[in-house]
Amino acid sequence: MSISFGHLVTMSHADPFSGIAAFITAAQCESFSQAGRKLAQTPSAISKSISRLEENLSVKLFNRSPRLITLTPEGEVFYQQCKELLTTVQDARAVVTGQQLEGSGHLRVCLPISVGNKVVAPALPAWLKANPKITLDIEFSDRHVDLIQERFDLAIRFHNVPDSRLVAIKLPNPVFVTAASQLYWETHGLPLHPNDLNQHCCLAYQDSVTQTVRRWEFKDDNGTYKITPKGQLAADQGAFLLSMAIQDQGVIHAPKYLLTEALGKGHLIEVLTNYQTTGPDWYLVYPYRRQPSLKLQSFILFLKSVLL
C-alpha cells in the first residue's frame, strides 16, 4: 500500500501536517496517554487529533484497546513515511541553525551481544557526551531482526542477506583467535595444526541465521583449513561459550575482542597463532532512504571508529 503526502495538502489548507505530531508520538509510545504527556496535551486531545487524521485520510491508522494501541498495516506504512519526513525537517532545522554536525532525535539500534558489551559499551559514554541531543534505545541480541517491521534505525548483521529495503555497509571481517584454559591444554595437549582440533572438545557456535554450526577457518602460506567443530556443547551466545572455556570445558574459537580480557588475565591460552583466521562477513545495515539522517550518520561514524 502507498499513502501519498499529496493527499495531506487537501486535508487542511491551514495546516497540511495537522495531527502528524500526535500520530508519530502515539505510534512510538503505543499510548495516547504517554503521547499526551510528551506533547503537553490531554489523551482526549491526542485521540481526537488522530481520529480527524484518520477521517481525512479515510484510513484506520490504529487498532485501539483499553490498554494498548497498535498500528494497522496502513498505519505502519504511514508511520514510516511520516517518520522519514519528520527526520528531514529536523535535519533541515539543524542545518539552518548551524547545528548540522550534531544531529538530534531518537535512534533504535540492534547490536550483537558480545559486540555491544565488549566493543561499543566502553566507547559509548564519550559519544553520548558529544551528542547530547541524540537518545538511544539499544537492543542487544544476536537474532536476525527485521529492521522495517520492528522499526530499527540500524543493526549489525552477520552475513549479507539481500534486501532491497536496506543499505548494507561492509565491515572488515573480525579477527578470530583459538584458545582454551591452561588446565584443558595440560590435560589434552596443544594442537600444532588446525586439523589437530578434530581430536579436541570444541565449543561450537550455533549460527542463528544459518541454523548451522559455524565452521572454523585457518590460513597460512600452504593453504586454507576448514574445521567443523565437534564437542559436547554448542550454543548461540559467545559469552556463554567463553564462560565454558574458562571453566576448562573445551576450545573456543571466537572474535579477538571477546577473548582479549580472558587472554590478558591468563584465564585462556591462545594457540595456532601462526595461522590467520577471520570470522564471517558482517555489515552495518539500515533502512534505505535517499539521505541518512544526521543522527544516523553520526552513530554510523561512531560504530565504524570502534569496529574498524
pLDDT in tens, 246-268: 999 999 999 999 999 999 999 99
Task: Let me know whether 19 and 77 are in one domain.
Answer: yes
Task: Let me know whether 161 and 287 are in one domain.
Answer: yes
pLDDT of residue 150: 86
pLDDT of residue 81: 75
Residue pair 284/300 in contact by the 8 Å Cβ criterion: yes
Mark residue 159 as left, alpha or beta (left: phi above 0; alpha: psi -120 to 50; beta: remaining): left
Residue 47, domain CATH: 1.10.10.10
Q: If you average pLDDT over residues 222-244, what whole number do you get?
A: 93
pLDDT of residue 207: 82
Mean pLDDT (the chain) is: 85
To the question of pTM greater than 0.75 for the whole model, the response is no
Q: If you average pLDDT over residues 36-51, what whole number do you get?
A: 90
Task: Let me know whether 181 and 242 are in one domain.
Answer: yes
pLDDT of residue 68: 81
Instruction: Print the domain residue range for 31.
Output: 6-83
CA distance 196 to 257: 25
pLDDT band at residue 96 under the 50/70/90 scheme = low
Q: Does the pLDDT at position 53 exceed 80?
A: yes
Contacts of 160 (CB under 8 A, 6+ apart): 168, 170, 281, 283
Residue 228, domain CATH: 3.40.190.290
Find the Cα–Cα–Cα–Cα dihedral 79, 30, 72, 78, rounded to 10°.
Answer: -10
pLDDT band at residue 30 under the 50/70/90 scheme = confident
CA distance 307 to 127: 14
Residue 105, domain CATH: 3.40.190.10
The DSSP secondary-structure symbol of 288 reads: -
276 found inside a domain: no
**Residue (of 280, 284, 272, 255) closest to 175 by Cα position:** 255
pLDDT of residue 87: 64
Distance, CA of 276 to chain centre: 28
- The crossing angle, in degrees rounded to 10, of helices 294-307 and 73-96 is 90
pLDDT band at residue 173 under the 50/70/90 scheme = confident
CA distances from 179 to 194, 241, 246, 248, 277 (A): 12, 11, 10, 11, 13
pLDDT of residue 2: 46
pLDDT of residue 177: 96
Q: Does the pLDDT at position 302 exceed 60?
A: yes
Number of domains in the chain: 3
Task: Let me know whether 108 and 235 are in one domain.
Answer: no
Q: Which of 32-36, 95-99, 175-179, 303-307 has the lowest mean pLDDT?
A: 95-99
CA atoms within 13 A on the CB side of 155: 24
Q: Does the pLDDT at position 208 exceed 80?
A: no
Stronger pLDDT, 103 or 224, i.e. the higher one: 224
